Amino acid sequence: EGGDRTQVRVVDESPAGLVVDGAQILGTGTAISDWVLVTCIPPLQPGQEDHAVSFVLPVSTPGLRIHCRRPYSRVTSVFDAPFSSRFDETDAVVVFDNVTVPWEQVFVDRDISATAAQFHTTAAHTLGNLQAQVRLMVKMRFLLGLAHRIVNVSGAERSASALTHLAEMATLAGSVEAHVMAAEYRARPDDSGVMVPDKRFLYTTMARQAELYPRALHLLRELTSSQAIDLPSSVAALDHPDLVAHAESPRTGSEERIKLYELAWDVIGSEFAGRHLQYEMFYAGATAVSQAHVRRTWRLEEADELLGRVLEGWGRDTPLP
């Protein structure tokens, strides 16, 4: 294999445990964790049994290395970067160099069906993605609020284009919220008594997540236009009224306007913003995987039954009403 890094896999075993090698992403928060859970959520095919594992390890285990990306916040003021200066999560790749996993810390050993069952036979995958869709719902609502404020501050509330953008953003936010509420309202206990949201509505949103969030950002970017670029170099400029006088708006003072557009830039244009765009687009995996979940859970027989009743409603001898 020439030293190439692939997804973590079993390369050997001994009386002490499994020996694993490879790398695993995306370890958000790994740098501040005591233990890591390593497993495989994407579907595996016959012949990939070496990847079909599930285990936990302390981060101090010999041979386990954590490679963190660089921080996105490189400013000295919260005012200049309100989100990236406070809410940047540390993503990491976890690398395993022939690491021994003690048997008592192994949950699944090279078993494709068991690897899938830990997520899809239990409620783990559904509940894990419920929080992701609640997160997306809140983000979409926040983006709508930010867009609305920008329209008001810029005096564009009578612009047909701006109002159309706001309406579309409200539609996107409402769509996500409706699916989350439907999934929760239709929740039912599983065989273990765990309340599980209706997978149909949950996976429907997941399948559209990669287009909903980018679209909302695109609309917000158009509403913001060049205003998020024409900003002072730092918060220090506020100490010199002559440097920020041009930033005043009939609707608000220069400081509040600059604060608003600094926030907008941290949402649509900074490295922090780019990371969140990428994160929301690929959190649920490839779109094809989410669409497969939709096909698997959407109870197409209900649609077939309705179609059948419609088709039974007339024949070649049916008289006109």
For position 146, which CATH number holds?
1.20.140.10
Considering the domain architecture, whether residues 62 and 132 belong to the same structural domain is answered as no
Q: Which of 91, 115, 139 is the last residue of a domain?
A: 115
Asked if residue 83 and residue 132 are part of one domain, the reply reads: no
Determine the pLDDT at residue 3: 40
CA 264 to chain centroid, in Å, comes to 19
Same domain, 88 and 233: no
Residues 108 and 130 in one domain: no
Asked if residue 197 is part of any domain, the answer here is yes
Both 148 and 171 in one domain: the answer is: yes
Q: Mind listing the pLDDT tens digit for each residue in 306-316? A: 999 999 999 99
Residue 204: pLDDT above 50? yes
Is pLDDT at 161 greater than 80 in this prediction? yes
Residue 52 burial by Cβ neighbours in a 10 Å radius (0-12, 13-18, 19+): buried
State whether 104 and 206 are in the same domain: no
Inter-CA distances, 289 with 116, 132, 283, Å: 14, 16, 11
How far from each other are the two terminal CA atoms of the chain, in whole angstroms? 74
Name which residue leads in pLDDT, 210 or 230: 210
The three-point CA angle 42-126-177 to 5° equals 120
| 268 and 140, same domain (yes or no) | yes
| pLDDT over threshold 50, residue 1 | no
For residue 217, the Cα-to-chain-centroid distance in whole angstroms is 14
In a domain, 315, yes or no: no
CA distance 303 to 300: 5
**Chain segment 218-273, per-residue pLDDT in tens:** 999 999 988 888 877 788 777 777 766 666 677 778 888 889 999 999 999 999 99
> What is the reported pLDDT for 243?
67
What band does 5 get if pLDDT is binned at 50, 70 and 90?
Answer: low
pLDDT in tens, 270-320: 999 999 999 999 888 788 888 888 898 888 999 999 999 999 999 999 999
SS3 assignment for the chain: CCCCCCECEEEEEECCEEEEEEEECCCCCHHHCCEEEECCCCCCCCCCHHHCEEEEEECCCCCEEEEECCCCCCCCCCCCCCCCCCCCCCCEEEEEEEEEEEHHHEEEECCHHHHHHHHHCCCHHHHHHHHHHHHHHHHHHHHHHHHHHHHHHHCCCCCHHHHHHHHHHHHHHHHHHHHHHHHHHCCEECCCCCEECCHHHHHHHHHHHHHHHHHHHHHHHHHHHHHHCCCCCCHHHHHCHHHHHHHCECCECHHHHHHHHHHHHHHHCCHHHHHHHHHHHHCCCCHHHHHHHHHHHCCHHHHHHHHHHHHCCCCCCCCCC
Give dist(CA 77, CA 68) in Å, integer: 23
Examine the domain organization and report whether 176 and 61 are in the same domain. Answer: no
Please indicate, yes or no, if residue 314 is contained in any of the structural domains.
no
Round to whole Å and give the CA distance between 61 and 100. 9
Lowest pLDDT segment from 78-82, 136-140, 159-163: 78-82
The last residue of one of the domains, among 63, 81, 115, is: 115
Q: Does 85 map to a domain? A: yes
Q: Angle CA(50)–CA(56)–CA(19) in degrees, nearest 5?
A: 40
Q: Are residues 179 and 219 in the same domain?
A: yes
For the cut 80, the answer to whether the pLDDT of residue 145 exceeds it is: yes
Number of domains observed in the structure of the chain: 2
State if pTM tops 0.75: yes
Mean pLDDT estimate for the chain:
91
- Asked if residue 156 is part of any domain, the answer here is yes
The CA–CA distances, whole Å, from 42 to 83, 116, 286, 293 equal 31, 8, 9, 11
Are 128 and 56 contained in the same domain?
A: no
* pLDDT at site 235: 81
Q: Is residue 68 part of a domain?
A: yes
Please indicate, yes or no, whether residues 161 and 285 belong to a single structural domain of this protein.
yes
On the 0-12 / 13-18 / 19+ scale of CB atoms within 10 A, 126 is buried
248 in the same domain as 105: no
Host domain of residue 93: 9-115
Among the candidates 115, 140, 169, a domain finishes at 115
How many whole angstroms separate alpha carbon 88 and alpha carbon 73?
A: 7
Instruction: Check residue 238 and give its pLDDT.
Output: 74
Please give the average per-residue pLDDT across 151-166, as a whole number: 93
